[in-house]
Amino acid sequence: MLLKHTYSSPIGNIGLLIEDLNLISISLTNPVLKGIEAKKDPESFKYIIAQLDEYFFEGRKKFDIAFKISPTKFRLKVYQEMQKIPYGKSITYSDLAGKVGSPKAFRAVGTACGKNPLPLIIPCHRVKAQSGLGGFTGGLDIKRFLLNLERN
């Protein structure tokens, strides 16, 4: 059963979607999850909300949230490597491409970041371009906010 909740955060409302107690989506661009048939059930999101609150307000550095995603093999490698980027640090798309064994695939890494179903949990905001921030599905203001939050 799909369950949804809208979480109010310092970066705006965030849509959360779980299936069988596994987080499957965090939406920064569709916080009410319009078009997705799911039951509203705030009670099922308490553990996730507690960790998000700790991240935004208390300096939580890692998440311990059960999730389930079904990416391509390449994207799975990218997401696994992204989760190794330490809190408060960042790397470039090129560096990440090298870490997954495809040093010339920096554009594909950028695409994987853009398709990341679990931003924050899989910290794509920590991946930047050689010459600046690069992109971010939630917008560059949110990316800047998250990077600054983690620097403090």
Q: Which two tokens stand for residue 116?
A: 């990341």
**Considering 3, 124, 127, 142, which one is annotated as catalytic?**
124
Q: Where are the domains of the chain?
A: 2-58, 73-151
Q: Write out the chain's pLDDT in tens, 152 residues.
A: 999 999 999 999 999 999 999 999 999 999 999 999 999 999 999 999 999 999 999 999 999 999 999 999 999 999 999 999 999 999 999 999 999 999 999 999 999 999 999 999 999 999 999 998 999 988 999 999 999 999 97
Please count the other Cβ atoms lying within 10 Å of the Cβ belonging to residue 49.
Answer: 15
Specify whether 124 is catalytic.
yes
**Is the CATH number 1.10.10.10 carried by domain 2-58?**
no
- The structural architecture, per CATH, of the domain 73-151 is Orthogonal Bundle (1.10)
What would the DSSP string read from start to end of 83-141? TTSPTT--EEHHHHHHHTT-TT-HHHHHHHHHT-SSTTTS-GGGEEBTTB----TT-HH
Backbone φ and ψ of 4, nearest 5° = -135, 160
